[in-house]
Amino acid sequence: MQHFVIMADTYLDPINRKFADAAAEGPPLYTKTFQEARDILEGIQDYKTAADIKTEEIKVTVKGEDVTTVIFRPAGAQGTLNMIFYTHGGGWILGSPTAHGALMEDFARQTGAAVVFPYYTPAPEAQYPVQFEQVYGVLQHFVTNGDKYNLKVDRFGLAGDSVGGHMAIAMTQLAHSRDLPSIIGQIVLLYPVTDTHSKSETYKIYKDGPYLSEKTMDWMIPAFLPNEEDRKLALTSPLQFAPDEVLAKFPPTTVFVSGADPLIGEGEAFGHRLQQLGVDAAVLKADGQVHDFAMLAPNITEPPDTTFTPPQVISAYILKISTITSQFTLFLPGKQTSCEMEDHSNLRSLITPSLLKQIAEAYLPLPKTEPVDFSEAQSPDFAANFAEVCKTSTARDALLGLSRLSPDGTLPSNEDLDLMSFLPPPASPEFPLQCFGLQLLLDQASRVLLEGIDGRWQVAYFGPLARLLAGQWRALPEAQQPYKRHRWNDDVGATSFSYWVALQVMWAAPFLHAEDLESQQIGLDLSEELRQAVEAHTNTRDPYRATRDATLKDDLFFLREVVKGPPKAAGEPSLSMTSWTFWWCIILDSHWPIIERFGRYPYRNGHFGRESTEAEKKWLDDIGHFSEASPEIAQRIREDVEKGRWTPLGEE
């Protein structure tokens, strides 16, 4: 009999201690043949399909070979289900739809989603990179053929245990590098392998277990990665070798680590690395649990000559799985039965702090504490950078999620949708930057991302939502208002005055895009506040003040002048802060006369499905039909308006 050496200060709860002792009664797995080891795990699990879960086995052909794949879904489920794509653990050697069956059933049962389980060829019968290619091929098949299996695959969840977590990380990298035509909404990693090249300190602490030992890992890794050089790759040791720019694009990730496990160190370190890169990542530790605690669902028949108590294990198992699967309720749009505005849990996994910070910082990608070169800030390269960040981030997903709140385009009220609830408390240091990011997401990212028929959503839904948010933050006490100078000087780390100035235009933008004079007046007030701040800071006077009254009466000024950009003052080697600011202030002012004359922006008539008046048609001719929808798109929107419908965002 060989028992694991359990250190005196290693805490295991009574159930896990009994399980570890029972598992130690026999010889270690690494002394067995690969097939014998598989048989042992299958025997422990003794899985039988539950009556409330329906399973479907299919064959997916990947590079000429069939990969058995099992779909687990709630038996009574109807319609299209969300998808969780699960990559199983077992040291690349063990694991199967039966060994992991109970866990897959619980994922399906508690999330209401369908769980897709690819049964890749085990090692050493196949070795790296075969398993990765098989699993990615299956993933690609389901993303491409979701309708065939009644699955919603535009956004899906990804999960895996142990080396399955290792594979889930690899699939995320491959999804980015190979442009998978779908989005991973959230990742759940259970005690993952993240480094096959080196060993963390917890390998020493739990060298002999309990349950999983260093020798067992030393037996497993070479079976999958016999070539040591292959252990130094981003896919095989992401903790050490995956580039920052790759990991920074990971979706919200939850890492569970066991309480007593050689893999604790690398699991925690991977989660921490994601956090440092700005990913919404949580690291949760299951105290007193051994490796595989989520997967183990032993046969309820007590093994002879042991103190093993399976009913207790099963009770604890249910509680653990409830905690794990609850992570997935955050990202699965469609789990609720209606688009009621009261439930925004799905949106909270889309409108994340990291996304808002990413959008905010992409608008002006310069050091916050240094003076701004306004010639650089006005550069088309900055606009291109902002557009690229919008397109490569999850901004479009966030907009899609918001559009699902109101399929008919009805704008929510303040009571129905508190946009401030997606932000930190107003008094917190994080509030100004994240609030700026959310406003940019609604007002500017939507302009970048929504084209064609989707343009109606931008002008008639997201623009007003940005104004709804702006009205909410403007109603705060002055000390908490996010655009105020003191918030950026104190809360955001002594931001330079010029950096703060460069952001101010976007705070006013939602009001100036509105088609009512009350909102326009707020925009004028913010413009004047900025003008006065710069005048006081530089001890200068805005030369445009002399012509401001005339500008406020010139409905052609905005579209005539905005394309020219801010002019440098005579003798300026580069564009100064004052020249930039004063030009922008008069541009902001020049929205007023358009709304005062027409009561709306005529160049938006097509996107609103409105007919232009004769006066508007002449005005549009005068400005060269700037920013109008194409005749084809305008006609389609008019047809939607006449039929009282909206083409769903993202349908094309």
Mean pLDDT of 367-373: 89
Per-residue confidence at 323, pLDDT binned at 50, 70, 90? low
Confirm if 612 and 638 have CB atoms less than 8 A apart.
no
The residue ranking higher by pLDDT, 494 or 495, is 495
Helix (H) or strand (E) holding 526: helix 517-538
Confirm if 566 and 583 have CB atoms less than 8 A apart.
yes
Q: Catalytic: 261?
A: yes
261, 454, 555, 589: the catalytic one is 261
Helix (H, G, I), strand (E, B) or coil at 186: strand
Q: Catalytic: 344?
A: no
Per-residue confidence at 411, pLDDT binned at 50, 70, 90? confident
Per-residue confidence at 414, pLDDT binned at 50, 70, 90? low
Mean pLDDT of 625-640: 87
DSSP 8-state class, residue 444:
I
| In the chain, where the domains are located | 14-330, 371-496, 514-599, 604-652
88, 96, 100, 162: the catalytic one is 162
For residue 321, the model assigns a pLDDT of 57
Q: Report the C-alpha gap between 187 and 176 in whole angstroms.
A: 14
For residue 202, the model assigns a pLDDT of 94
For residue 181, the model assigns a pLDDT of 87
Q: Report the C-alpha gap between 578 and 386 in whole angstroms.
A: 24
Q: Catalytic: 549?
A: no
Q: Report the C-alpha gap between 156 and 355 in whole angstroms.
A: 18
Tokens 């769903």, located at residue: 648
Whether the bond into 97 is cis, omega within 30 of 0: no
Mean pLDDT of 528-538: 95
Per-residue confidence at 135, pLDDT binned at 50, 70, 90? very high
pLDDT tens per residue across span 422-476: 888 888 888 999 999 999 999 999 999 998 999 999 999 999 999 999 999 998 8
Helix (H) or strand (E) holding 215: helix 214-224
pLDDT tens per residue across span 28-75: 889 999 999 999 888 888 788 888 899 999 999 999 999 999 999 998
Helix (H, G, I), strand (E, B) or coil at 422: helix
How many other C-beta atoms are found inside a 10 Å radius of the C-beta of residue 502?
22
Over 80: is that where the pLDDT of 357 sits?
yes
The residue ranking higher by pLDDT, 162 or 378, is 162
Q: Report the C-alpha gap between 422 and 354 in whole angstroms.
A: 12
The number of angstroms, rounded, from the C-alpha of 547 to the middle of its chain's C-alpha atoms is 47
Q: First-to-last CA distance in the chain?
A: 64
**CB environment 297-327: b (16+ within 10 A), e (fewer):** bbeeeebeeeebbbeebeebbeebbeebbeb
- The structure tokens listed for 362 are 């992409």
Average pLDDT, the chain: 86
Over 70: is that where the pLDDT of 342 sits?
no
DSSP 8-state class, residue 273:
H
Per-residue confidence at 318, pLDDT binned at 50, 70, 90? very low
DSSP 8-state class, residue 251:
-
291, 344, 513, 591: the catalytic one is 291
pTM (predicted TM-score)? 0.54
pLDDT tens per residue across span 74-86: 987 878 899 999 9
The number of angstroms, rounded, from the C-alpha of 579 to the middle of its chain's C-alpha atoms is 39
Q: E strands of 122-174, at which residues?
A: 151-161
User: Domain 14-330 adopts which CATH fold?
Assistant: Rossmann fold (3.40.50)
The residue ranking higher by pLDDT, 626 or 158, is 158
Which sign, positive or negative, has the C-alpha torsion 547, 552, 556, 559?
A: positive
Percent of the chain with pLDDT over 90: 54
Please state which of the ranges 139-143, 351-355, 612-616 shows the lowest mean pLDDT.
Answer: 351-355
For residue 417, the model assigns a pLDDT of 77
Helix (H) or strand (E) holding 319: helix 310-325
Confirm if 264 and 202 have CB atoms less than 8 A apart.
yes
Torsion, Cα 306 308 311 315, to 10 degrees, reads 180
The residue ranking higher by pLDDT, 328 or 8, is 328
Q: Report the C-alpha gap between 132 and 233 in whole angstroms.
A: 13
Mean pLDDT of 181-188: 90
Over 70: is that where the pLDDT of 584 sits?
yes
Distant-in-sequence, close-in-space partners of 13: CB < 8 Å, separation ≥ 6? 287, 288, 289, 316
Which sign, positive or negative, has the C-alpha torsion 96, 101, 106, 112?
A: positive
Helix (H, G, I), strand (E, B) or coil at 629: coil
